[in-house]
Each structure stands twice: as C-alpha cells, then as structure tokens.
Structure 1
Amino acid sequence: MDTMYVQEYQKQFFELQKKFFDVWLGGFPNSKEAFKLPDSLDKSIELQEELVKNYLAAEEQAMQLALETQKKFWDNYFELAKKAASTKVEVAA
C-alpha cells in the first residue's frame, strides 16, 4: 500500500511538472518547436561533456607544466649544489 502511495505521488508530481512547462512554454510564440526538451537535454549533455573534456585537457597541461617546472628546479638545485661542493673542495685544498 505504501508503494502505491509513492507511485501515485510520483505520477501526480510528473503531471504537475508537465503542466507547468506546458503553460510556461505556451507563453512563448512558437515555443513547442523552439524548446524540444529531449533535443535540449542532448545538447546540454554534449556541452557538459565538451566542457569536462576541455577542463581535463587544461588540467593535464597545467600538471605537466608543474612537473616540468619542479624537475627543472631540482635539476638546477643539484647542479648548483654540486658546483658549490666542488668549489669548496678546491678552495680547501
């Protein structure tokens, strides 16, 4: 009996949403053809997918740049440390 209540509630809620959008879209001229919800949903999903792909590509490039920068920093650090150590050994001798 509880499941019937939930199903009936969902059915009424869906119908209410549909009526709301029908009335809202009815206020626009040629709204039925301009706002095709399945098409809009597909385009929205495609746009979101493209945004995520672009974001991930940018993030990948940023991470690669950060890794290259760290590598150069540490390479330069150890090169400088080796030079400093060799000059101290030569001065001491």
Structure 2
Amino acid sequence: MYYEGDSVQIPANYGCYSLSQFQPDLTDKVSSIQIPDGVRCYLTHWECESIMVDQDTKIVDAPGLSSLYNINFNDQLEKIACYNTNDPQDGF
C-alpha cells in the first residue's frame, strides 16, 4: 500500500493487522494498494477481532486499486487482513 511515496507490505497469512503496527504508519492515509495474483484483502476500520463483511468493509482482489479515493476509503483504512486464495482455508 502506498501514500505519497511511502509504502508498507502486509503479510497474506490470514492475520489481521492494524496499519499503526507498520512504519511508516499509513493509518487513514492509504491512497493505493497493489495486490499480487492469488491474494484477497479485506479493508476495514473495525477492530481486527471482528472483521465483518458489511458495508464498511471493502474486499479487494488482484491487481488492487490504483486509488482508494474511487471507493471513498482513502481516509478510513485502519485495519487489513489478507490471505492467499489458493490456500485450502476458506478465508475469514
């Protein structure tokens, strides 16, 4: 994910991460996201313990989004969880 030249990489391991865990902290600042083939991510501002697929959660597959502004989510992304869609688990 990117914001004004800064970027962070999120593991695709079913873990839910708060963007504040990474440096630089891109909480509420992400402008774009690139997702490798075979990975799906859930973007949310809810707590990680309760990621729910609802109107406040965005599901993003490869190749990602060149602009989170297009989905009105650029200033709301706080948590992200990604997984490999080829993994035998069913996701979240």
TM norm structure 1? 0.18
TM-score (structure 2 length as normaliser): 0.19
Q: Specify which structure has the bigger relative contact order, considering alpha-carbon pairs within 8 angstroms and separated by 6 or more residues.
A: 2
Larger radius of gyration: 1
